[in-house]
Amino acid sequence: MAYEVSIFLENKIGHFERITHILKENNINIRSMALNNTSNGWGILDLLVNSPEKAYNALADKGVSVALREIIALEMKDVTGGLDDLLLKVSKANVNFDNAYGRIIQENKAAILVIDVQDVEDSKKKLQEAGIQMLDDKNVYGIE
């Protein structure tokens, strides 16, 4: 199962750096991130890190408003049209997602699409039935 670390973050100088500093102190590597402004000076920072549970605990211990959320990670080709090809398959599987972001695994070969869905188990089932493979932790987190 793949997880992301989601942080409720105030949009002020130094707040993002506080998060990265805590992760650095705990030897946690950020593999991918998405920062979204919500409203009134607040946002959501979604992180894909090499050790999500460790990151969650380190941040929570420092009083950060953090959640550990299950996500689905899908492999796509890192070529023109790779995302389009994958999204066509996801659409045919009848899976809708609320948020998404990606990262390259190996340039010109493979990338990851991270999707955030309402019902993880149902979406996994639909993707499996459609023959779409979800990535294992080694590939999602970039574990050597």
Tell me what pLDDT residue 144 has: 52
Instruction: Give 52-65 pLDDT, tens digit per residue.
Output: 999 999 999 999 99
Q: Which CATH number fits domain 72-141: 2.40.37.10, 3.40.50.2300, 3.30.2130.10, 3.90.650.10?
A: 3.30.2130.10
* pLDDT mean across residues, the chain: 92
CATH superfamily of 2-69: VC0802-like (3.30.2130.10)
Residues of the chain with pLDDT under 50: none
The length of the chain is 144
Task: Tell me how far apart the alpha carbons of residues 114 and 112 are, in angstroms, rounded to a whole number.
Answer: 6
Task: Tell me how far apart the alpha carbons of residues 137 and 69 are, in angstroms, rounded to a whole number.
Answer: 14
- Is residue 99 a contact partner of residue 79, using CB atoms and an 8 Å limit? no
Tell me what pLDDT residue 68 has: 96
**C-alpha to C-alpha distances, 33 to 112, 119, 123, 126, nearest whole angstrom:** 12, 22, 22, 26
Q: Which of 31, 44, 17, 23 is nearest to 114 (CA)?
A: 31
DSSP labels, 13-49: TTHHHHHHHHHHHTT--EEEEEEEEEETTEEEEEEEE
**What pTM was estimated for this model as a whole?**
0.86
Instruction: State the span(s) of the chain assigned CATH 3.30.2130.10.
Output: 2-69, 72-141
Tell me what pLDDT residue 143 has: 61
